[in-house]
Amino acid sequence: MAKKWAFRAILAYALLGLILYAYLFYIAGSGVPESFKGSSADPSTFMNAKEILLSEDFSKIKNLLFFLSTPYEWLLYFLIMILGVSRMFEKWAKGTVKNGFLQTAIYLFWLSITTFIAIFPFQYISYQVSKAYNISTQTFSMWMKDETIDFWVNYLLMLIIVSVLYGLMKRFKQRWWLAAWALSVPFTIFMMFIQPVLIDPLYNEFYPLKNKELEAKILSLADQAGIPANHVFEVDMSEKTNSLNAYVTGVGSNSRIVLWDTTLEQLTDDEILFVMAHEMAHYVEKHIYIGIGIYLLLSFFGLFLASKLMRGIVANYGEEIKVDRVASLRSLPLFLLIISVLLFAVSPFSNWISRYQETRADRYAIELTQDKEAAITSFQKLSKVGLSQVNPPLLVKIFRYGHPTMLERLNMLEQYKMDTKEKEDPAESSP
């Protein structure tokens, strides 16, 4: 029975892969509508023919990898359960030590190693594709260093979470999800507080912005926006990527304004000020706190659904998936599978919220800087350097885009210009 279920799952994944490939490479269109030809949103106005071709090819490959990787994760968790691998890891852990925390650490280590090895091909292909299209500048050793850091950071965080979660499952058999959610509130806020000062520096070196003249302009902009900032941080990303980025991270006194050195090298000061004004908008409009609130709300219902689904699946199919009870460590792949499916299912909604916030941030940045030309050219450069599609397929936008498409953003900027002009014309024609 287990082999039959495993075969069917693998076959279903293969068929899904073929459907996704056909959709992304042959069915879905990503060209610019005729009405946008010649506008600032038309790639031919800021990319040459080769760059347009490369952006299409690169985006299709990355989109395919994205849509294949998540179901692959589901398949992996399913196979780990149904083939008895998770049960074997639990037996190894219990047969090695008697301490419950150490058993969890051993079980989680074997599960983490297994998933890391199984998912590694996707990670490596993604890295090689980025290298081939001149997006990534990392050497293999540098890339592996980041992957190793990722593994241990995720392992340590998961060890804390899983130890607490399964402790709650044993103590509160019916309401463990509610206790877990209650503890997730302070944990989430704590992680956002320490992320900029403890975790981010593990991957990159942060230092005060070298260009003091530009820093003064950014801090002046921050002052206009009412953001309490004394420094702007620069991070050396050119040794890893050619992509551009800037962001405001952290909460409270640990908030940071951060610029990638690639952004400093490839954007003008006016374009950088627009990008920073956009990032400042998230702080001003409290998008970080709204995001925390939405996340906690979704996690409340997510944990509730996970508890119901786990109980029902274990009760009806426990023998087939080799899980005897919900509170057993061997049920962790089932929990991770359910959470991953729920996160994917809710991603269209969370992405829609994010796109709405990003649109508001774009408008705020225009109003703060009063420089729409810099806004347009900065978005064009972001598309060109990142080889991103200006008008991605609908499913890609729904499931992958937390930002509006470049077509939407650039069109909004052009419309904003036309609206401004229309408001000025009556005054110019009045006696």
Which residue in 42, 90, 234, 279 is the catalytic one? 279
Residue among 174, 170, 156 nearest 100 (CA) = 170
Answer yes or no: is 205 a known binding residue: no
Residue type, 105: A
Question: In sequence order, what are the residues at sequence separation of 6 or more whose Cβ sits closer than 8 angstroms to the Cβ of residue 267?
Answer: 244, 275, 378, 381
- b/e sequence 297-311, b meaning 16+ C-beta within 10 Å: eebbebbebbbebbe
Q: Note the residue count of the chain.
A: 431
Question: In sequence order, what are the residues at sequence separation of 6 or more whose Cβ sits closer than 8 angstroms to the Cβ of residue 122?
Answer: 65, 68, 69, 72
Beta strands in 86-177 (DSSP E): none
Answer yes or no: is 278 a known binding residue: yes
- What is the distance between the alpha carbons of residues 204 and 247, in angstroms, rounded to a whole number? 15
- What is the distance between the alpha carbons of residues 215 and 273, in angstroms, rounded to a whole number? 10
Active site residue 279: yes
* Burial zone of 180 (CB within 10 Å; 0-12 exposed, 13-18 middle, 19+ buried): buried
Q: No. of H helices and E strands in the chain?
A: 14, 4
Structure tokens belonging to residue 63: 């989109």
Which residue in 73, 215, 234, 362 is the catalytic one? 362
End-to-end, the C-alpha distance of the chain in Å comes to: 86
Answer yes or no: is 282 a known binding residue: yes
Give the orientation angle of helix 287-317 with respect to helix 332-369, to 10 degrees. Answer: 160
Specify the 3-state DSSP secondary structure of 257: strand
Residue among 178, 164, 162 nearest 332 (CA) = 162
Q: List Cα–Cα distances, 231 to 195, 208, 222, 373, 381, in angstroms.
A: 18, 7, 10, 27, 26
Residue among 12, 17, 50 nearest 384 (CA) = 50
**Could you list the active site residues?**
279, 362
Q: Which residues are annotated as a binding site for Zn(2+)?
A: 278, 282, 358
